[in-house]
Chains A and B, each alone.
Chain A
Amino acid sequence: MTNEQNTVSRKEASEALDSIVTNKHRLIETQRPPILLTLLASISYAAIIFGYGMTEHENLWALAMWLGGLGFAISVGLYYYTYRVLGVKLNIIPKSSTSIWLNLITGLVFAVLLIGGRELRLTGFEYAPHLAALLAGIILFTSLKKYPTGEYVEEKNNDNS
């Protein structure tokens, strides 16, 4: 397309780039599982973090952790199934390097919250698991809302000049 490249103006190139981002956003905004499912997954995940942080010699919080795990597994299964019915098959492992980094960093943050919440409580900060669970729930909910397919999607550019 070397000859044609000379005929593609800045405006056309900009419109083509905008169309790529707009179409990605339109797809992930219109084809997505119910928000309640995302909320259920986030609450279940927060319950795991909270339960782990509060567990003492297999007390009732351990049960909360296992129930959270069960709820999380069910909601993730439903999440994949709903997408499949909608006509979208999700990547188990993201494909783009930005998405891989984003998922790795998110996973690291969750690990820090899981371990940090418990360790801080054991050193005397009583509300550490509460805070860790709240943060984990908010981060997971925001991530699933912003990148529901697990792939990074660029922000829309409103500057069309």
Chain B
Amino acid sequence: MTTLNATIHAPNRLQICAILATSAELEFKLIREHLGVSDSVLSKHLKVLEESGYIQLKKRAEFGRSRTWVALTLEGRKALSSHVNALKEIIAAAV
């Protein structure tokens, strides 16, 4: 049986991982606006995910300003996929 991932299961972190799975990288500002949270709250969640090896942060100067890009690592994609399977198992087991 697949187990739920405590790092990913927190609502904001689950949303972050979900939207990161749709593309190669997302800009910090875009994620913040999507979640409707402050810079500090998002930074805390990103730090937890980064320390777990699920995301990578990259700072680049583009269009005349510094932009922070966030990418889901291969490990992060596997963890998200495994977490989704665990959720599906819970639903299936309860039917």
Chain A residues near B (Cβ < 8 Å): 1-2, 4-5, 8-10, 13-14, 16-17, 19-21, 23-24, 26-28, 30-31, 83-92, 95-96, 149, 151, 153
Known pairs A8-B4, A13-B87, A87-B29; A23 contacts B15 (CB<8 A):
yes
Cβ–Cβ contact A149 & B23, under 8 A: yes
Binding site for A on B (CB under 8 A): 3-6, 9, 11, 14-15, 18-19, 21-27, 29-30, 34, 62-63, 67, 69, 77, 84, 86-88, 90-91, 93-95
Q: Are A149 and B22 in contact (CB under 8 A)?
A: yes
Number of A-B residue pairs at CB separation under 8 A? 97
Bound form: Cα–Cα A34–B30 in Å: 18
Which residue of the partner chain, among A2, A85, A90, contacts B23 with CB atoms under 8 Å? Answer: A90
- Give chain B nearest CB distance to A88 CB in angstroms: 5
Known interface pairs A8-B90, A14-B91, A19-B15; A96-B21 also in contact (CB < 8 Å): yes
Q: How far is the CA of A30 from the CA of B95 in the complex (A)?
A: 35
> Hey, which chain B residues are within 8 Å of A89, CB to CB?
23-26, 69
Q: Is the CB of A5 within 8 A of B27?
A: no
Q: How far is the CA of A21 from the CA of B87 in the complex (A)?
A: 13
| A-side interface mostly | helix
Picked from A8, A23, A91, the residue with its CB within 8 Å of the CB of B24 is: A91
From DSSP, what is the main secondary structure of chain B's interface residues?
A: helix
B15 and chain A: residue at smallest CB distance = A23
Q: A19-B14, A88-B27, A89-B23 are in contact. Are A2 and B87 (CB under 8 A)?
A: no
Instruction: Give min CB distance, B1 to chain A, whole Å.
Output: 9
Shortest distance in angstroms between A97's beta carbon and chain B's nearest beta carbon? 10
**Cα(A86)–Cα(B93), bound, Å:** 41
A1 touches B30 (CB 8 A): no
Q: Name the distance in Å between A141's Cβ and chain B's nearest Cβ.
A: 20
Cα distance A91–B87 when bound, in Å?
A: 27
Give B42 Cβ to nearest chain A Cβ, in Å: 13
Residues of chain A within 8 A of B26, CB atoms compared: 87-89
Q: Are B19 and A1 in contact (CB under 8 A)?
A: no
Whole-angstrom distance from the CB of B78 to the nearest CB of chain A? 11
- B25:A16 contact, CB within 8 angstroms: no
Among B6, B18, B84, the one with the most A-chain Cβ atoms within 10 Å of its Cβ is B18
